Structure 1
């Protein structure tokens, strides 16, 4: 907003019909501030800081210079990120670099950028261990299983008797010939 902005806000504040609950009391100071929301007939204006600055509190009553990338705000102003940390946000805090497996660093970290690790598919240790895990059997083996007709009949007779409590009899599946004789004929 230009130099006429305070006059426009004052005119809105004094206009008849304006809701008394939301007066145009907020005027953003020139310099480091800018309007986040201008005053309207139903709400007050809201201020924020211009680019390169940040609000010092929740009400944005003061704007402090942003620390920028590779630095973080401390009690004494801005401080550069220590070695092994980075900050990739204008007003963020320094975070630890990602830890890669041994010899897996693709790009080293800086104060403004995290370490980039090689993808796991580029892992030479994995590539050399896979072929040697089972040299005797390099492919799956299928083993055929045959059953005799007697085994099939015995399994069928046993499965039709389960559970025994409902049968009322106590017979051993191996001794049951009654059903086997019926199925063979």
Structure 2
């Protein structure tokens, strides 16, 4: 009798374990009343009371869940490339292509990874331009200096890591047969700063001449006004000094009256 009870208990435990195993499967984390209610990461619950199914190749699940579908994997394309591929329990990680850098911590956007003048991008860092090259700051890469000898010229200004070499044409030799002949200098041969000085001098001289003429005309005008004013004042003084004698005129009238018969 005891043996039968022990055997019955053993069979019940074995059956319960087999049933739970059939319900839970490899992905089930928690079951209740014979139903799987929570799946492990990398799985999803295909039914309310069913089995946990593994995520497809384009999906993932990074935490225990009871979701009916897995999360969709992120795609790294265009200006992005894969830093790490998508897996059953983790999403893909993206990074920006060469020449660009992530604009935020999650690398959801990319921006130009431009280096300052005199440097160029090497890997993810900005390094100085090698000797004999330069980068003014807007081209991104270092370019070689200009070769003056290749264009029959001489170096006028040396190159730096931020600027190119400036070449100057070689001076033309004067033929010995015509020592008196002088090569005509074109406006292009005159340095620009000499032209600027000439223009400034001409402008200053012209301004001085204009001011002199203006003040000369103004002085003549003032002198005429002064003379006119003096004439008017002199006329007024002469009119004020002219004297009239009304008594004599009156006396003349009396004499005329008295002479009548």
Q: Same fold (TM over 0.5)?
A: no
Greater share of strand residues, 1 or 2?
A: 2
TM-score by length of 2: 0.25
Greater share of helix residues, 1 or 2?
A: 2
TM-score by length of 1: 0.34
